[in-house]
Amino acid sequence: MLQWAFDTMLGFGLLWLAWRALNSSDLFKAIVLFIAFGLLMALAWVRLNAPDVALAEAAIGAGLTGALLLAALARLGAMTDQNVSGASAYPVPSAQPPAGSHFSRGLLILLLSASVAGMAYAIWSLPSYATGLSMDVAAHLDDSGVGNPVTAVLLNFRGYDTMLEMMVLLLAVLGVWSLGGLQQQPEKPVAAVLETLSRFLTPVFILAAAYLLWVGADAPGGAFQAGSVLGAAGVLLLLSGWRPRVRLMQWPLRLALTAGAGAFILLGLLTLLLEKQFLTYPVAQAGRMILLLESLATVSIAVTLAILFLSVSSGHKEKSGKGEKK
């Protein structure tokens, strides 16, 4: 009864936060609501017995996405400050739809109704009880080289899914770089407290990431959780004014960004030669191969997330510098 009440509150709280975040005219408020939504969402995943997803949601969905959104908002504010002098820091989406949009609005409603009807049909036609593939996964868990079924699926049975996810992350960096690029600028001096905080916490972050990576073989954890924790350490360091050396920003950075996807492709080709199938590991070596892939993926994910933050937040410094000259 008590759990039922808690779950109901959690469900309605999520819906309410989502609506408030979408409906808020204040973008800063919307981002804060989005972060709160991510934290509650992590709690919902815990209630659904999916601690792996909960960890990833809390670290990436709430933490790093929140930081990226806030950095983008700060940049947006600096950009609009130049154009509209004295106006509010960022544009407020107008409540009025543009003129002559009746047709497109009707079309939108039609499309939305069709997709809702499709989803309702899909949910309706689900069998009332389904085990899915969990039985098959459990049956072959011994051959996967790890003890955690989630890691077994992500890195072994459906390893190409994770490979494609690594490429998506790479594409995200390429997209951000092609829009703004990466500028190397000395940060303005930051609070001493922030510097101390990052100095004390960075070793803890690294330890926690290594623990998550290692424990992922047998318990909730893994490359994405470890990578996002490590990425958060990077964001904290960047916020407190730390910048990697210019020499490190050349090919070492590119190597770190592509290490995860590259390792997947190389290992895939190797297994194609040896086992005649893409990303099918020999049973005896599976555990080691997964650990190698996950370690490289962790580095790539961490560097990708930190670099995304640096790219999104560094642009406006240069822009506001130009503004001052005018």
**Whose Cβ is closer to other proteins: residue 1's or residue 193's?**
193
Tokens of 204: 């803890």
Q: How far is CA 169 from the centre of its chain?
A: 9
Q: Does residue 201 belong to the site contacting other proteins (CB under 8 A)?
A: yes
Write each residue from 99 to 128 as x if it is in contact with other proteins (CB under 8 A), else as -, in one continuous string. Answer: ------------------------------
Sign of the torsion formed by the C-alpha atoms of 132, 136, 137 and 138: positive
The DSSP output letter for 154 is I
CA distance 300 to 273: 26
Stretch that binds other proteins, among 31-39, 145-153, 197-205, 292-300 (CB under 8 A): 197-205
Of 1, 122, 193, 284, the one binding other proteins by CB under 8 A: 193
Burial of 10 (0-12, 13-18, 19+ CB in 10 A): middle
Write each residue from 140 to 179 as x if it is in contact with other proteins (CB under 8 A), else as -, in one continuous string. Answer: ----------------------------------------
Q: Does residue 191 belong to the site contacting other proteins (CB under 8 A)?
A: yes
Q: Does residue 194 belong to the site contacting other proteins (CB under 8 A)?
A: yes
Tokens of 164: 């494609």
Stretch that binds other proteins, among 89-97, 117-125, 152-160, 189-197 (CB under 8 A): 189-197
Q: Does residue 204 belong to the site contacting other proteins (CB under 8 A)?
A: yes
CB of 232 to other proteins, least distance (A): 12
Q: Does residue 88 belong to the site contacting other proteins (CB under 8 A)?
A: no
**Whose Cβ is closer to other proteins: residue 22's or residue 207's?**
207
Stretch that binds other proteins, among 109-117, 129-137, 190-198, 282-290 (CB under 8 A): 190-198
CA distance 295 to 297: 5
DSSP string, 157-199: ITHHHHHHHHHHHHHHHHHHHHHT-----PPPP--HHHHHHHH
Q: Does residue 197 belong to the site contacting other proteins (CB under 8 A)?
A: yes
**Whose Cβ is closer to other proteins: residue 86's or residue 93's?**
86
Q: Does residue 207 belong to the site contacting other proteins (CB under 8 A)?
A: no
Select from 227, 224, 209, 296 the least CA-distant residue to 256: 296
Task: Tally the residues of the chain.
Answer: 326
Q: Does residue 137 belong to the site contacting other proteins (CB under 8 A)?
A: no
Buried b (16+ CB within 10 A) or exposed e, 248-279: eeeeebeebbbbbbebbbebbeebeeeeeebb
Select from 20, 27, 38, 109 the least CA-distant residue to 70: 27
Q: Does residue 200 belong to the site contacting other proteins (CB under 8 A)?
A: yes
CB of 204 to other proteins, least distance (A): 7
Stretch that binds other proteins, among 87-95, 195-203, 252-260, 262-270 (CB under 8 A): 195-203
CB of 16 to other proteins, least distance (A): 16
26 within 8 A of 45, measured Cβ to Cβ: no
CA distance 191 to 31: 24
Residues that bind other proteins (CB under 8 A): 191, 193-194, 196-197, 200-201, 204
